[in-house]
Amino acid sequence: MLLAPSILAADLADMKTAAEQCRQGGADFIHVDVMDGHFVPNLTIGVPVVQALAACSEVPLEVHLMVSNPERLLEEYLDAGARWLSVHWEAATHLDRLVGQIQKGGAAAGVALNPATPVEVLQDILPRLDFVLLMSVNPGFAGQAFLPYTLDKARRLRSAIERRQLDVTIAMDGGIGIDNIRQVVASGVEMCVAGSAIFASEDPVATMQELKRRAESELV
Ligand code: DX5
Ligand code: ZN
């Protein structure tokens, strides 16, 4: 199980401390929420901030682009240090081309799906993807409630991946915490993104460790 704390929920004036906490907590990636105020109703982190974070973080960055016209920005985020990079299915006109560009840039390519978008839209492109990021909240903000119906999407995607013997990682993003991470992992998710559950807790490092412990106990 891979854990990717979402930096959006951390103190953005002190990302260096958050990055160090992620290292100490055994995080596999730092999830970076890029929002453009157009595809989603919020504006967050841009290229210079991703560069700054990449420069001070030992933990690799997994960048989630919630932007319209992602083709305009891909190269910049790849250069800024994104090791995994996802674009939204709902924002992409030429998804196959975008996936190829991300992989050519040396990163793992992912497609993010809004809660209401069925996983079946990925049927044909699935073998080309490195990961799928299933949104379990409507993208735009940290700290929202988990939408339980998205677990069924993870189960359907997991069975399609297994049936077709593909090597695609399922990630889930939004509203994941101590109380539901087991359920999330049980539905077939291999990478959990968690923001406020970690950074709004008293001890983010201990919370990361506890999230990993709970997720891994579900797998044994
Ligand atoms: C939502 C973002 C999520 C969010 C996760 O638009 O894509 O990554 O920051 O935060 P929590 O875990 O608080 O829902
Ligand atoms: Zn995200």
Q: How far is the CA of 8 from the centre of ligand 1 (A)?
A: 7
pLDDT higher than threshold 80 for residue 219: no
pLDDT higher than threshold 70 for residue 84: yes
Give 35's pLDDT tier (boundaries 50, 70, 90). Answer: very high
Q: What is the pLDDT of residues 87-117, one digit of tens each?
A: 999 999 999 999 999 999 999 999 999 999 9
In this prediction, residue 218 carries a pLDDT of 83
Closest ligand 1 atom number to CA of residue 64: 7
Q: Which residues surround ligand 2, an ion (CB under 5 A)?
A: 33, 64, 173
Measuring from atom 6 of ligand 1, which residue has the nearest CA? 139
Please list the active-site residues: 33, 173
The structural domains of the chain, ordered by start, are 2-219 (3.20.20.70)
In this prediction, residue 220 carries a pLDDT of 67
pLDDT higher than threshold 80 for residue 203: yes
DSSP codes of every residue in the chain: -EEEEBGGGS-GGGHHHHHHHHHHTT-S-EEEEEEBSSSSS-B---HHHHHHHHHH-SSPEEEEEE-SSGGGTHHHHHHHTEEEEEEEGGG-SSHHHHHHHHHHTTSEEEEEE-TTS-GGGGTTTGGG-SEEEEESS-TT-SSPPP-TTHHHHHHHHHHHHHHTT---EEEEESS--TTTHHHHHHTT--EEEESHHHHTSS-HHHHHHHHHHHHHHHH-
- Could you tell which of 173, 178, 207 is best to mutate to test the pocket of ligand 1, judged by most ligand atoms within 8 Å of the CB? 173
